[in-house]
């Protein structure tokens, strides 16, 4: 008999979405230049250098797919990758590093704001926060912006390999406390490390769950889910109900 945790891990591994193909689709400078809206999209956003491109590669299982750099502000375009021919991962430029932007203000690329607010096939945003840091104003402000604009998101605390687990947990608790007032139900949060692969199963599980829901909504029973385009529901999915003070 397997110990309970091990058994759960094996079960979740067996059901995890399998990535059979991951290819670069295009780089778009703005929303208008993004490709057709036929496939569900899952996007990564967060402060420059938080690890968006690295996490995308870790989920895709391909190290060189999105370009990674120790230099903040590296990703400058909306980079779109097609996964299993049926959904997309979107690597967005980070906030907090735009030249000329005021320090500590969640000013970010106008194209990114347009994409997050108006992309109809955007299903979910992974909002990345560095797990080794106490809550940063710029991140708190950005999460407020996501909430105010009704963008569906989950939080992902990155680079857990760099700090002790107790520090990670303390920083997550402090962050959740900072944003608690804006939500009836706190947003889901996850941890990950692109270095160790920690969190991969959980995050792919989130994607799989949404893809299953989209499939169910579109009433499709594909014989080969890898080769059929997924019909999107008419309106984009929203996150949990928000209890907004404004």
236 touches, from ligand GTP, Mg ion, none (C-beta below 5 to 8 Å by class): none
Report the candidate in 25, 77, 16 with the shortest Cα–Cα distance to residue 212. 16
Residue number, nearest CB to ligand GTP: 94
Residue 75 or 86: which CB sits closer to ligand GTP?
75
Residue 92 or 204: which CB sits closer to Mg ion?
92
187 touches, from Mg ion, ligand GTP, none (C-beta below 5 to 8 Å by class): none
Per-residue interface string for the shown chain with Mg ion, residues 118-157, x marking contact by CB under 5 A:
----------------------------------------
Rounded Cα gap, residues 154 and 188, in angstroms = 5
Binding site for ligand GTP (CB under 6 A): 46, 48-54, 68-70, 72-75, 93-94, 158-159, 161-162, 193-195
Residue 47 or 236: which CB sits closer to ligand GTP?
47
Rounded Cα gap, residues 149 and 113, in angstroms = 10
Residue number, nearest CB to Mg ion: 75
SS3 189: strand
CB 36, min distance to Mg ion, A: 24
Rounded Cα gap, residues 78 and 28, in angstroms = 5
Rounded Cα gap, residues 153 and 147, in angstroms = 9
- Return phi, psi of residue 16, to 5°: -65, 145
Report the candidate in 58, 198, 193, 206 with the shortest Cα–Cα distance to residue 126. 206
Asked if 174 and 134 touch (Cβ cutoff 8 Å), the reply is yes
Find the largest Cα–Cα distance for the chain. Answer: 60
Residue 106 or 230: which CB sits closer to ligand GTP?
106
CB 44, min distance to Mg ion, A: 8
Q: Please report, as residue ranges, which positions from 38 to 57 form the binding site for Mg ion (by CB under 5 A).
A: 52-53
73 touches, from Mg ion, ligand GTP, none (C-beta below 5 to 8 Å by class): ligand GTP
The alpha carbon of residue 164 and the mean position of all alpha carbons in its chain are separated, in whole angstroms, by 23
**How many CB atoms lie under 10 A from the CB of residue 14?**
7
Rounded Cα gap, residues 202 and 53, in angstroms = 18
Position among 49, 57, 75, 158 found at the interface with Mg ion (CB under 5 A): 75
CB 110, min distance to ligand GTP, A: 16
Residue 157 or 182: which CB sits closer to ligand GTP?
157
User: Applying CB under 5 A, which residues contact Mg ion?
Assistant: 52-53, 75
């Amino acid at each position: 008999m397997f110990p309970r945790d091990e058994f759960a891990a094996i079960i979740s591994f067996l059901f995890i979405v399998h990535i059979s193909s991951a290819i670069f689709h295009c780089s778009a400078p703005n929303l208008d230049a993004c490709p057709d809206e036929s496939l569900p999209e899952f996007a990564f956003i967060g402060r420059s250098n938080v690890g968006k491109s690295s996490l995308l590669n870790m989920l895709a299982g391909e190290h060189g797919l999105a370009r990674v750099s120790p230099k903040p502000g590296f990703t400058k375009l909306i980079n779109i990758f097609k996964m299993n021919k049926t959904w997309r991962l979107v690597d967005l430029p980070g906030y907090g590093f735009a030249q000329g932007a005021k320090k500590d203000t969640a000013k970010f690329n106008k194209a990114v704001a347009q994409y997050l607010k108006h992309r109809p096939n955007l299903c979910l945003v992974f909002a990345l926060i560095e797990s080794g840091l106490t809550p940063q104003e710029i991140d708190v402000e950005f999460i407020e912006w996501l909430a105010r604009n009704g963008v569906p998101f989950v939080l992902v605390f990155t680079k857990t390999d760099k700090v002790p687990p107790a520090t990670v947990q303390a920083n997550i608790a402090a962050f959740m406390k900072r944003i608690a007032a804006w939500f009836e139900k706190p947003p889901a949060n996850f941890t990950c490390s692109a270095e160790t692969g920690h969190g991969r199963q959980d995050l792919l599980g989130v994607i799989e769950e949404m893809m299953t829901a989209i499939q169910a909504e579109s009433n499709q029973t594909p014989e080969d889910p890898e080769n059929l385009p997924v019909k999107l529901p008419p309106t984009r999915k929203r996150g949990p109900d928000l209890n907004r003070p404004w």
